[in-house]
Amino acid sequence: MSEGAPWLVIIGLGEDGPEGLSPASRAALERAEIVMGPPRHLSLLPDLGTERVEWPVPFSDGLDLLEGFRGRRVAVLASGDPFWFGAGSVIARRFGPGEWRALPGVSCFALAAARLGWALDRTLCLGHHAAPLTRLRPYLAPGVRMILTLRDGEAAADLGGYLAGLGFGSSHLWVMEALGGPRERVAEVRAEAVSEEFSHPVVVAVEVAGEGAALPRASGIDDTFFDSDGVMTKRPVRALTLSALAPKPGERLWDIGGGSGSIGIEWLLSHPSTQAVAIEPRADRIALINANAAALGVDRLQVVAGHAPQALAGLDAPDVVFVGGGLSAALLDWLFAHLPGGTRLVANAVTLESEAQLIAAHAERGGDLLRIELAQAAALGPRRGWKAAYPVVQWSVTL
């Protein structure tokens, strides 16, 4: 190994083994002292006369093992393009940029699109080999095309059942085994009819169809998407609240008084890079929050049990705070004393006592004060009239 040259090379290997490798990848394999990878990848290689090391389970143990080979010429095998839902980014985070180089192969997404003639730039590509199927929920709408990696062959039937259970059973699935290799097989089936067994590795292309309910992309999705014990920010007020919270990519929300989790969940639905923490003292409502978050595909919602402000200690600082329950002068004082300048705060009040606190806080600290009064048509004897909801006072301020 020449001085200053990377000791580690990450090679994307397809199901056709070394036949599909570029000349650079072949040369890197031939120069390697150690070839490391999952058993399936190693089995695709001929005898190269090099030491072979199986990547252990769990995956993190392999990083420690690889660390011990530092200074020797090591080739790590990964599937297709190692930086598209693969191991490449994890390895790159562990080792410095001068220690490794990557020689990617053809991704399974490219192979799947090529089999179907789909435009890859207009197809949703998702890695679900280690993720719950519920994370698909925000994307499910008739006409959507997606390509998914799955953990194993049995997961194809799980995917079909999941889609059928949401009313998308007529979706078309193309289940693709061992793309690019001699075992390649493509089976076309409707989601509600997946029954045969498939072998790993599996990629599934989906064209969504059916009468299932698609999640709206605007704030204020219908209340029926949430399970609730009755304590929930209702759709019109939730839409106005999300507008005031104004989520941006990468921002973190504290949702104090999580209730059913609707505010935090819609915050997370706004962009895949957003983060949210729901603070809720009641165990039954924590269960509701977790169930709603999982059902709507945002299980990344963090839930903290306890009362604010005590439960806030030690949490990563937020960009935005919503106070939907447990409002008090002490809580507001704590937030202003402990959070950095520029943090946005939105608080809703329904009772006269909490409204008075927001009016006083507005007078002392500025910001915007909004009174939301809504009425809905309802039966009034044989006719109809307006049934007013409790007014909501909303205070928005930047610390």
The domain boundary residue, chosen from 75, 106, 137: 106
Q: Helix or strand or coil: residue 111? A: helix
Question: How many CB atoms within 10 Å of residue 154?
Answer: 14
User: Who contacts 389 (Cβ-Cβ below 8 Å, separation ≥6)?
Assistant: 234, 373, 374, 375, 376
For residue 118, give the DSSP letter. -
202 and 300 co-located in one domain = no
Whether 3 is covered by a domain: the verdict is no
141 and 168 co-located in one domain = yes
DSSP of 327-362: --HHHHHHHHHHSPTT-EEEEEE-SHHHHHHHHHHH
Whether 281 is covered by a domain: the verdict is yes
Helices and strands, number each (H, E), in the chain: 11, 19
Whether 307 is covered by a domain: the verdict is yes
As beta bridge partners, residue 345 has: 321, 397
CATH value at residue 345: 3.40.50.150
Whether 217 is covered by a domain: the verdict is no
203 and 254 co-located in one domain = no
Whether 48 is covered by a domain: the verdict is yes
324 and 373 co-located in one domain = yes
For the entire predicted model, the pTM comes to: 0.90
200 and 61 co-located in one domain = no
Per-residue pLDDT at 382: 94
182 and 254 co-located in one domain = no
* Helix then strand then coil, % of the chain, to nearest 5: 35, 25, 40
166 and 269 co-located in one domain = no
79 and 117 co-located in one domain = no
Residue length, the chain? Answer: 399
268 and 387 co-located in one domain = yes
51 and 135 co-located in one domain = no
Per-residue pLDDT at 4: 60
Whether 369 is covered by a domain: the verdict is yes
Radius of gyration of the chain (CA): 26
Look-up of token digits 């009425």: 375
Is the distance from CB of 108 to CB of 203 less than 8 angstroms? Answer: yes
176 and 275 co-located in one domain = no
Q: Which residue range forms the structural domain that includes residue 93? A: 8-106
Number of compact structural domains in the chain? 3
Whether 201 is covered by a domain: the verdict is yes
Is the distance from CB of 156 to CB of 173 less than 8 angstroms? Answer: yes
As beta bridge partners, residue 273 has: none
24 and 137 co-located in one domain = no
Whose CA is closest to 128, among 102, 101, 146?
146
Whether 216 is covered by a domain: the verdict is no
DSSP of 232-246: S--HHHHHHHHHHH-
Per-residue pLDDT at 89: 93
Tell me the two tokens of residue 88. Answer: 């490449």
Tell me the two tokens of residue 181. Answer: 């290799």
Question: In this structure, are strands 74-79 and 8-13 parallel, antiparallel, or unpaired?
Answer: parallel
The domain boundary residue, chosen from 83, 106, 129: 106
Per-residue pLDDT at 195: 87
The CA distance from 191 to 165, in Å, is: 10
For residue 389, give the DSSP letter. P
Tell me the two tokens of residue 350. Answer: 């329904």
The domain boundary residue, chosen from 106, 128, 149: 106
Nearest-5° angle of CA 255, CA 318, CA 367?
Answer: 80
For residue 117, give the DSSP letter. T
Dihedral Cα 8, 9, 13, 19, nearest 10 deg: -120
Per-residue pLDDT of the chain (399 residues; tens, 9 = 90+): 545 689 999 999 999 888 889 999 999 999 999 999 999 999 999 888 899 999 999 999 999 999 999 989 999 999 999 999 889 999 999 998 899 999 999 999 999 999 999 999 999 999 988 889 999 999 999 999 999 999 998 999 999 999 999 999 999 999 999 999 999 999 999 999 998 889 889 999 999 999 999 999 999 999 999 998 877 888 999 999 999 999 999 999 999 999 999 999 999 999 999 999 999 999 999 999 999 999 999 999 999 999 999 999 999 999 999 999 889 999 999 999 999 999 999 999 999 999 999 999 999 999 999 999 999 999 999 999 999 999 999 999 999
CATH value at residue 81: 3.40.1010.10
- H/E segment holding residue 185: strand 185-190
The CA distance from 301 to 286, in Å, is: 11
Question: In this structure, are strands 172-177 and 202-207 parallel, antiparallel, or unpaired?
Answer: antiparallel
Which amino acid is located at 396 in the chain? S
Per-residue pLDDT at 3: 53
